A and B are shown apart, each in its own frame.
Chain A
Amino acid sequence: MRNKIAILVSSIVFALSSTQAVKSESITLGWAAWDPANALVELSKDFTAQTGIEVNFEFVPWPNFADRMLNELNNKGKTFDLLIGDSQWIGGGATYGHYVKLNDFFDKEGISMNDFSDATVYAYSTWPKGSENYYALPAMGDALAWAYRKDWFDRPELNSEFKAKHGYDLGVPENWDQLYDMCTFFQGREIDGQVRYGAAINTERGSEGITMGVTAAMYAWGMQYENPSKPYDMEGYFNAPNVVEALEFYKKMYEDCAPPGHSDAYMVANLDAYKSGQVAFQMNWYAFWPGVSKEDADGRVTGFFANPSQKVSAATLGGQGISVVNYSDKKDLALQYIKWFAQPDVQQKWWDLGGYSCHKDVLGSPDFVNSAVYAQGFLDSMGIVKDFWQEPTFVELMLPMQEHVHDYVVNGKGSAKEALDKIIEEWVEVFEADGKL
């Protein structure tokens, strides 16, 4: 009997200690549930093979991503050791101490931020902006861009009809005016027995959708959030005539070019509208282009282009850096992952698998531009990206923008200027409460 008990006890102790061993050798990474996340799972197998550290993943669908992750950080949760958090979170991550500052680690391991594209380091890693305080390693470069039905554009009868009407060829639009011409050309047009529409653009109300769409136009019209020489001074900048014009233009795009019922649409809805052959153009993130490109079949040929310019060249920034969560018990293992991830050959494989590397070795390699049809567009875009506020209060800033822009563009309430004025009014309140004004 005593023997049996001894065996039982020792086996329990063994079981506990072995699970302990497994546990200490695993980390959990949080990100959004989308195509690149699958590529990361694939890539991370190499890390596990090399180090024996298991990587668990928790991917949250985009509409709930910010809610879920920011809740976790605010509650000092230990669920995640690594977080690929959205670019706008960096201010809060740094200010509220959610993210580990990585400067010492980078110095110790010889990881140089000069090896990564400058725009991505600025956007994904630094806080305060432009300083040399790093809270993330650029993980996934991304920007808002456009895909179009190249197979339709290449049809001679469509091209000649378009040219007769507008005086230039159907092709990659050089500016938003041309984009509008082309979208309206396809709006309601019957092609191969099916009614088609112009463009699937971002109009989502709940999270960040319409903001991420409308800013693509605003940036191209040269919008500035604030006075460059007087931070947080927004009057006369964010509601300047060019921004008003951009917002009015986006409303026109929604009314004249979007498919019916496209009033609450973001990434997935745009992909669906394009996939089902409804639209000639879709606005979306580079992250989806490998998937879109792969799905070309039954005569569909997709072309890609960077956000068209209007008054200036600019694109809405997407993408994320990878950060170590300050509340994690396994920061050392998480840092090991970052060290591994920063290596040029891993970065190259990351791009090959469908992730968007920000490493200069990858982006600068002679083969890069020819490695995918959207590669050149990606390079062009990453040079001109602009982001929404990255302030710690960015959600408070995002919500009024979502509300008033949606109210104007989709709901048709008030004027563009009124919408922008209301947004500034609420932003001033936020900055005042935050002690910045």
Chain B
Amino acid sequence: MKNKIIHKAKGLSDRAVAWIFITPTLLLLLAINIYPLIYAISMSFTNFYANKLGKEIKWVGLKNYAKILGKEAIWERMQITASFMFWTLLLQAIIGLSLALLLNKKFKGNELLTTLIVLPMMLSPAVVGVFWTYLYNPQVGLFNYIVNFFYDFGSFDMIGSSTLAPWAIVIVDTWMWTPFTMLICLAGLRSIPNYLYEAAEVDRANRLQQFIYITLPSVLPFLLLALLFRGIENFKMFDMVVELTSGGPGSATELASIQLKREAFEKWKTGYSSAYAVILFVTIFGFGNVYVKVMNKIKDR
């Protein structure tokens, strides 16, 4: 029997052996990734409610999609999400790169400082959300105290005000995830060979020129990669914001993913929310693809 198998296996081509090895993984991927996706897409054309099991499931065509894309509230959430992503990514890119440049210098306590800066990233987002609600407390919050220490704005409520709340979540996310961009940028900076700078010095390039023509181009692919990760993460941001503001006040910080969760698992509009999920998926997938293409172009340069 054993010999028979060995004999058979010997007769297989490399390609066939490769297929045998990857088939289990492929099946697993199909089962836990592709199948649910196809199932969700098919559900998005129905009026299915997961909590009304006795109810007849009707095919509604593109009605769910039309409803979602025609709803002002959904576009508002998209805008909120877009603005959250824009500001967090911008701030994290600038601060992360600046910190990386500072930490790239050799000085005493460099390692310790890096470890300290990286700490926020290691906390659970839900915990971060909860304790920032205390920091933002207008009566006893440390954040408000520090701001008022520099300039007295009087009493202000970061979470309760519709103009400040979107900034409240941007600040927390930036506080938490800037270390991530910093770490990746730092890795990029350390990979720049020293001879480039030496050659630049021979050519009498000043510091600024060195930064613009050597440092920035070398670190840019790393920074873009970090921003890609952060972008995908923040597009589906949920836990931190829910703990911090519950999407409020009103719906000022209700990101698309929070609204999706409420539609899917509180209202149980399964068909409708599948359509919503598909729309979000296509959006981030499209953006991601374009971004990767741009990133590769920059890398090639």
Contact = CB atoms under 8 A, between A and B. Distances in A.
A259 B252 CA distance: 21
Nearest to B136: A261
Interface string A179-203: 0000000000000000000000000
B169 to A, nearest CB: 13
B246 A96 contact: no
A263 interface: yes
Given A261-B159, A263-B159, A412-B162, A74 B139 contact: no
B50 A433 contact: no
A399 B262 contact: yes
Given A261-B138, A261-B160, A264-B245, A92 B51 contact: yes
Interface residues of A, number: 31
A88 to B, nearest CB: 13
A292 B241 CA distance: 31
Contacts of A66: 266
Interface string A380-393: 00000000000010
Contact of A67 (B159, B249, B266): B266
Interface of A: 66-67, 70-71, 74, 92, 96, 204-206, 259-264, 278, 392, 395-396, 399, 403-404, 406-408, 410-413, 433
Question: What are the 8 closest A-B residue pairs judged by CB atoms, nearest first?
Answer: A263-B160, A407-B250, A206-B246, A411-B250, A205-B248, A260-B138, A411-B249, A410-B249
Interface of B: 47, 50-54, 133, 136-139, 141, 155, 157, 159-160, 162, 242, 245-252, 254, 262, 265-269
Nearest to A70: B51
Contacts of A96: 51-54
B137 A395 contact: no
A412 B165 CA distance: 13
Interface centre among A70, A261, A407 (most CB of B within 10 A): A261
B249 A261 contact: no
12 contacts: A66-B266, A74-B51, A96-B52, A205-B248, A260-B155, A263-B159, A396-B268, A403-B251, A406-B251, A407-B249, A410-B248, A411-B251
A399 B264 CA distance: 12
Contacts of B254: 403
Contacts of B51: 70, 74, 92, 96
Nearest to B133: A264
Contacts of A413: 162, 250
B139 A411 contact: no
A205 B251 CA distance: 9
A260 B144 CA distance: 12
A205 to B, nearest CB: 4
B51 to A, nearest CB: 5
Contacts of A260: 138-139, 155, 157
A261 B168 CA distance: 13
Nearest to A396: B267
A427 B43 CA distance: 24
Contact of B159 (A74, A264, A278): A264
Given A96-B53, A392-B52, 13 more contacts: A205-B246, A260-B139, A260-B157, A261-B139, A261-B141, A261-B159, A261-B160, A263-B248, A264-B160, A264-B249, A399-B267, A404-B250, A411-B252
A412 B252 CA distance: 11
Nearest to B47: A433
Contact of A406 (B47, B52, B137, B249): B249
Given A74-B51, A411-B249, A263 B242 contact: no
